[in-house]
Structure 1
Amino acid sequence: MAQDTTVPKLNFEYWLDKAVEWGQATTLKSQKDVCLHLPQLQEFLHQLYETLKDVQGSVAAIQQFPLIGQLLGRLCWNPFVIGYDESQKALMWCLCCLYSSEPQNPVEVKANSWIHSLLCHLLSSSEWESNEAETNLFISTLGYTSADYYGHLVKNMIFSLVTELRENPFNGLNIQRSVPASRVNAVSICCVPLITLPDLTPLLETLLLYHGGSPKEILCPEFLEAVNEAFLKKKISLPDSAVCSLWLRHSLSLEKATLHLLDQLVSIQLNSLEEVACVIKDSLLPQAASHPAIFRVVNEIFKNALLETDGASEVMTIIQVFTQLFLEARQNQNEQHKFPLKAYFPCHHQPLVRALLRRPSELPTTSWSQHLKNISDMLKALVEDTNVSSLTDLFETWYLVTCFGEWLDIAAEQLLKAAVQPDALLWLLAFFYCPQNENQQRTQAMITETTDTSKEVYSLLLRTAYRFKHHGEGNQKTVKLLNELLQKFTLKV
Structure 2
Amino acid sequence: MSEVQPASQLQHTAESSLNVQEMQFWLDKAVAWGQADSPDSHKDTCLHLKRLRDFLQQLLTHIHNMSSTAETMKRLPLLGQFLGHLCWNPIVSADDSSRGLLLQCLWGLHSEHPSDAVERKANQWIRRVLCQLTTEEDNIATDVFMKHVSVPPKEYHHKVLKKMVAQLQENIGRSCSSLSSVNRSCSCDIVLATSDACVPLVTYPETAPLISALLQRPMTCVKETLSADFLQALGSAYSSRSLSLEGQDLVSLWFRSLSSLEEAVLGLMESVLITDWTPQMLEQQVALSLLPKACAMHCSMFLVVSDIFRSTLKQAEKNECLKSLVQSFTRSFLRELALLLPQMNVPLKAFFPQSPPSLLAPLLTLPSEMPQEAWRNHLNWLSRSLQRLTEEEEEEEGGSRGTRLEGHHRVFEAWFLLVQCAHWVRVALQLLATSGPEDSGPLLWLLTFYHHPTNRWHHRAAQLVQAREAWEHLLAVFIASPHPAPAARLHSLVALLSPPAQRPPLAQRPPLAPSLTISLLVNFAVFCQRPLSASKEILQTVVDQSGVADEAACVLSSLELRLNGGGCSSSDRVHLRIEGLQHTITHKHSA
TM above 0.5: yes
Q: 1:468 to 1:258 in 2, by over 3 A?
A: same
Per the alignment, residue 123 of structure 1 pairs with none
| Structure 2, gaps ≥5 residues long | 36-42, 64-75, 105-127, 133-149, 397-402, 471-495, 499-512, 519-550
Task: Summarize deviations over 1:381-437 as a string: whole Å, max 9, x none.
Answer: 222235675333322221221111111111111111106732221111121122234
Matched, 1:416 2:433: yes
- How far did 1:166 drift? 3.7
Task: Summarize deviations over 1:24-61 as a string: whole Å, max 9, x none.
Answer: 67xxxx989x99xxxxxx99997994x89xxxxx9xx7
Per the alignment, residue 8 of structure 1 pairs with 9
Deviates more, 1:239-248 or 1:444-453: 444-453
Matched, 1:288 2:294: yes
| Selected match of 1:426 from 437, 440, 444 | 444
Query: Is 2:10–2:19's contact at 8 Å kept on the other side of the alignment?
Result: no
Per the alignment, residue 128 of structure 1 pairs with none
Query: Is 1:19–1:74's contact at 8 Å kept on the other side of the alignment?
Result: no
Inter-partner Cα distance in structure 1 for 2:257 and 2:425: 36
- How far did 1:175 drift? 4.3
In the TM superposition, 1:79-478 aligns within 5 A as 79=85, 111=100, 148-167=155-174, 169-171=176-178, 173=180, 175=182, 180-181=187-188, 183-210=190-217, 215-232=222-239, 236-238=243-245, 240-270=247-277, 272-290=278-296, 291-386=298-393, 390-418=407-435, 421-437=439-455, 440-448=461-469, 450-452=496-498, 457=518, 458=551, 459-471=554-566, 473-478=569-574
Task: Summarize deviations over 1:314-371 as a string: whole Å, max 9, x none.
Answer: 1111111111001111111142325212222112212201111111222222222122
Aligned length in residues: 429
Q: 1:78 to 1:470 in 2, by over 3 A?
A: same
TM-score, normalised via structure 2 length: 0.60
| Partner secondary structure for residue 340 of structure 2 | coil
Letter in 1 for 2:464: T
Q: 1:80 to 1:191 in 2, by over 3 A?
A: closer
The RMSD of aligned alpha carbons is: 4.8
- How far did 1:114 drift? 6.7
Query: Is 1:196–1:230's contact at 8 Å kept on the other side of the alignment?
Result: yes
When Rg is computed on C-alpha atoms for both structures, the one with the higher figure is: 2
- How far did 1:256 drift? 0.6
Inter-partner Cα distance in structure 1 for 2:300 and 2:26: 53
Q: 1:173 to 1:182 in 2, by over 3 A?
A: closer
Letter in 2 for 1:462: S
Query: Is 2:192–2:226's contact at 8 Å kept on the other side of the alignment?
Result: yes
| Partner secondary structure for residue 454 of structure 2 | coil
Letter in 2 for 1:431: F
TM-score, normalised via structure 1 length: 0.70
Inter-partner Cα distance in structure 2 for 1:245 and 1:486: 42
Same amino acid, percent of matched pairs: 24
Q: 1:431 to 1:80 in 2, by over 3 A?
A: closer
Deviates more, 1:251-260 or 1:193-202: 193-202
Letter in 1 for 2:9: P
